[in-house]
Amino acid sequence: MMKNKSLVIYFIILFTLCAAVIVGAKALGQQGAYLAQGYMLTPAIAAILTRLFFYPLRFRDANLRFGRVKDYLTYWILSLSITVLSYVLFTLLGAISWDITGNSFLGRLTEQFAATGQDINATLPPGMTP
C-alpha cells in the first residue's frame, strides 16, 4: 500500500477540479471569467475533500479552534493599517490621484458608453443626471 495515498488523491482531486474550471471557462467564453473566483479556491476545496474522505485522521490532527478575540482585533487592525499605509505611500508617490467630485469616473464612463454607441444620459430615468 502506498505511504502517501492521501497526498496522491489530493493531487488527483486538485487536477480534476482545475481541469473542470478551465474547461468550463473555455466553454462559457467571455462569461467564463467569472469562474476565476472559483479557480482560486480549488486547492482549498481539494484539501477539504481529501481530508473528509481519504485521510484517516480527517480533521482530528488539524488542531482547529477559535482564537482569542484580542488576536482577531490585532490582526484586523494590522491589516487595516497596512492598507492605509499603502494608500498613503501611493498617494505621496503620485501613483494615485484622488477625485472627490467623481468627474474622472463619469468621464471614463461616458467614453465607455460612447465606444459602444450609447449615450450615458439616455439610459437614465427621466430627470436623473450622472
Res. 130: pLDDT tops 70:
no
Give the per-residue pLDDT at 114.
Answer: 87
Residue 56 has a pLDDT of: 86
Q: Please write the tens of the pLDDT for every residue from 56-85.
A: 888 989 888 898 999 999 999 999 999 999
DSSP, res 2? -
Instruction: Quote the CA–CA distance of 130 and 109 in Å, as a whole number.
Output: 10
25 touches 62 (CB < 8 A): no
Q: How many CB atoms lie within 10 A of CB 10?
A: 19
How big is the CA angle at 42 (ends 58 and 68), to the nearest 5 degrees? 55
Q: What is the pLDDT of residues 12-57, one digit of tens each?
A: 999 999 999 999 999 998 888 889 888 999 999 999 999 999 988 8
* Spans of all domains in the chain: 1-62
User: Considering the entire predicted model, what is its pTM?
Assistant: 0.55
Cell of 86: 499603502
CB atoms within 10 A of CB 16: 12
